[in-house]
């Protein structure tokens, strides 16, 4: 009787496990976040603040700086998206509230940076999967 060898392919198995975990996370959390992010982005683009409108109006006259100006507009939109999320999810504001206003501002900035990284990572993931 011949012994059968069990062949382990850890790389394949780990890739399969990672794929299953990512699929679950995407279905459970990330797809909802994508929908919210797109909604916030659309609302912020439709209701662009005056500063961003002014910068956008300068682009035809400053063609060499177009990419930089568009980048600044994107940053303003991201900030507005995050501010809207703070309004929609009051529990987030509880995370950075502090009696010391300087410390509160620092905490809020930290949460904004974390949300910015999260949003941009999700958006990059969408671009890669297209």
Q: How confident is the model over 32-68, as pLDDT tens digits?
A: 888 888 999 999 999 999 999 999 999 999 999 999 9
Q: What is the mean pLDDT of residues 99-119?
A: 91
pLDDT band at 127 (very low <50, low <70, confident <90, very high): low
pLDDT at 128: 64
- pLDDT per residue as tens digits for the range 10-22: 899 999 999 999 8
Task: Determine whether 49 is exposed, middle or buried from the number of CB atoms within 10 Å of its CB (0-12, 13-18, 19+).
Answer: middle
pLDDT band at 24 (very low <50, low <70, confident <90, very high): very high
Task: Determine whether 82 is exposed, middle or buried from the number of CB atoms within 10 Å of its CB (0-12, 13-18, 19+).
Answer: buried
19 assigned to some structural domain: yes
Residue range(s) defining the domain that contains residue 72: 10-125
79 assigned to some structural domain: yes
130 assigned to some structural domain: no
1 assigned to some structural domain: no
Residue 124 CA from chain centroid, whole number:
9
- Positive or negative: CA dihedral 78, 82, 87, 88: positive
Q: Is the pLDDT of residue 1 over 60?
A: no
Residue with tokens 């177009």: 66
Give the DSSP letter string of 44-64: HHHT--HHHHHHHHHGGG-GG
For 52-56, 71-75, 106-110, which range has the lowest pLDDT when averaged over its residues? 106-110
105 assigned to some structural domain: yes
pTM, two decimal places: 0.72
Number of domains into which the chain is organized: 1
Q: What is the mean pLDDT of residues 84-106?
A: 86
Helix 66-88 vs helix 101-129: angle between axes, to the nearest 10 degrees?
A: 110
């Amino acid at each position: 009787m011949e012994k059968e060898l069990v062949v382990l392919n850890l790389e394949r198995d780990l890739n399969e496990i990672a794929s299953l975990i990512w699929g679950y996370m995407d279905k459970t959390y990330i797809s909802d976040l994508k929908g919210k992010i797109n909604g916030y982005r659309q609302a912020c683009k439709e209701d662009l603040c005056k500063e961003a409108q002014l910068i956008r109006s300068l682009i035809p006259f400053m063609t060499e700086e177009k990419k930089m100006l568009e980048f600044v507009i994107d940053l303003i939109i991201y900030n507005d998206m995050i501010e809207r999320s703070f309004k929609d999810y009051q529990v987030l504001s509880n995370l950075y509230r502090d009696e010391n206003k300087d410390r509160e501002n620092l905490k809020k900035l930290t949460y904004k940076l974390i949300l910015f990284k999260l949003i941009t990572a999700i958006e990059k993931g969408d671009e890669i999967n297209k």
